[in-house]
Structure 1
Amino acid sequence: MSAVNDTNFNSAVFLLTGIPGQEDVYLWISIPFCLVYVISIVGNSVILFIIKTDPNLHEPMYIFLSMLAVTDLGLLIATIPTILGIFLFNSKEISVDACFAQLFFIHSLQCIESSVLLLMAFDRFVAICNPLRYAAILTLQRIVKMGLVFVLRSVALIFPLPFLLKRYQYCRANILSHSYCLHQEVMKMACSDITVNNIYGLSVAISTMGLDSLLIFLSYVMILKTVLSIASHAECLRALNTCVSHLCAVLLFYIPEIGLALIHRFGNNSSHLLQIILGYVYRLVPPLIHPIVYSVKSKHLRARIIRVFIK
């Protein structure tokens, strides 16, 4: 009888998790989080401002960088309310609808960021493997079309997730492992059979980030093949040097994502603290590092930033 009553109970809230056992120092912990958010938002906003205002930077590589900055800002805004809410105000409750909305934006923006990294890989592939046709292939009109296609793909694939989750009754403790909502976590709180969500979520991950990562890998295989055929050692290094920033962005995005996905799906006995730390690294480090890496590696962007701040 108790099991039947539990199954019919649908909780109105989920409980988010900060860092277990550190509740007494949450206010101190909030300081580095606030600093990371401020630096990330300012850094990405500066990148966007400079690319928009400098006509010399209206090139494919910088347009893709501005897309990456917009996506990073979106991910920061999607997670700020709940992460800082926990550490500043110890506010752990989030309504079911707010949780579903947050996971929709987080997963949509994740897929979009993966697509932008693929477009940036394509940009490097064309620039190195077919430099004479670079301007003809990557026209502004074509870049806009590719960007819109990938945004629509991400939104269309993620859009059903909140509605699939809405069908379930949530009868467990509803305590999530992170300071924000993720589909793979929320669906585990359901009392019903979650096979449909499991299969659909895995299919979306494979058809977006899985496919994108495979295409990025193949593009770098082709780049490496082209670079190794260059006779001059100096030219070979110069060509590879143009890919360093993008490779850093790819590794920062995919390594924590793969680790977190494996832990959520197969690591039932893994350390809870490891999940939490990896989650924060995945959400906060890429938006913080991207502006720094690209500013350091791009001579034109670095010079423009220095000019702005000197003025």
Structure 2
Amino acid sequence: MATGGPQPMALGDDAARTLANATKTVPQMESISPRWLVHLLNWIPVEAGIYRRNRVTDEDTVDIQCDNFDESPLPETFIDYEKDPREYRLKAVHTILDVHTRVSDLYSSPHDQIAQQLRLTIEAIKEHQEGELINSPDYGLIANTPAKQRISTLAGPPTPDDLDNLITKVWKEPGFFLTHPEGIAAFGRECTRRGVPPPTVSLFGSQFLTWRGIPIIPSDKVPVTGGKTSFLLIRTGESRQGVVGLFQPGLAGEQSPGLSVKFMGIDRSAIASYLVSLYCSLVVLTDDAIALLEGADVDKFHDYAPKYRK
């Protein structure tokens, strides 16, 4: 038998959520990348902040001969060095992080506000560091590739022939190719079109395309201009006369090699300030440690669907 009056209702989701604790992530920032280049370089501590690259001036002056059986005198020789070798000074990247003490006091559960602000600031500085290692007009890889080590693509998209030509320039223990992710995609399409899909290799727990056994490393810091990008081939290591990174060891407040965080105090407005600094540079020890392919077309419609090109 029906009864009068309102019927009881179940507790709704919106009301229930007022008593529930939400599980919160730390702040996510899309610009953070793996920064493979930084991991693949060999890093050398520079305690005085200056690194001097000494080179031989003229290798043709070295005169080497086999023993003379008639016991006549052997030629004397010596190897001369540059009189004014290039010196590399560590470059500094600074920023100041400001956090109101009220924010850090009241809103640091479950995640510490200062720790998260510092984490994101450090990530941004490290992203800037990789960009400078590639693009700095002073010490960047692109600017410091000698003219004799630069080639232009034979066709529109990057081809296996182009990468083979880079290998002829850096044939002594080449370490890795470096290009924009769009460059890797364009190279992969060209290899597939030719019926020679490149194999992959596992590094740092990730899969990378390879060519002739050399991994092709992506970095979004390699410029793409007008639908074209570059490929670099790099040999690394001081003992191999390759490319090396430089950093300052033993910094006060050191968080990682060459990077420090220093507390600067609290002002009268209750703002706490932190100085975040990164010191680094890069050196190409010999000319044949690096080669650059310029003008590689990364347009995915190149040669495949001309009707889409305007």
Q: Which category of TM-score, normalised to the shorter sequence, fits these structures?
A: under 0.3
Q: Larger relative CO (CA 8 A, sep 6+): 1 or 2?
A: 1
Name the structure where helix makes up a greater proportion of residues.
1
Larger radius of gyration: 2
Structure ranking higher in strand proportion? 2
> Normalising by the residue count of structure 2, what TM-score does the alignment of the two structures yield?
0.24
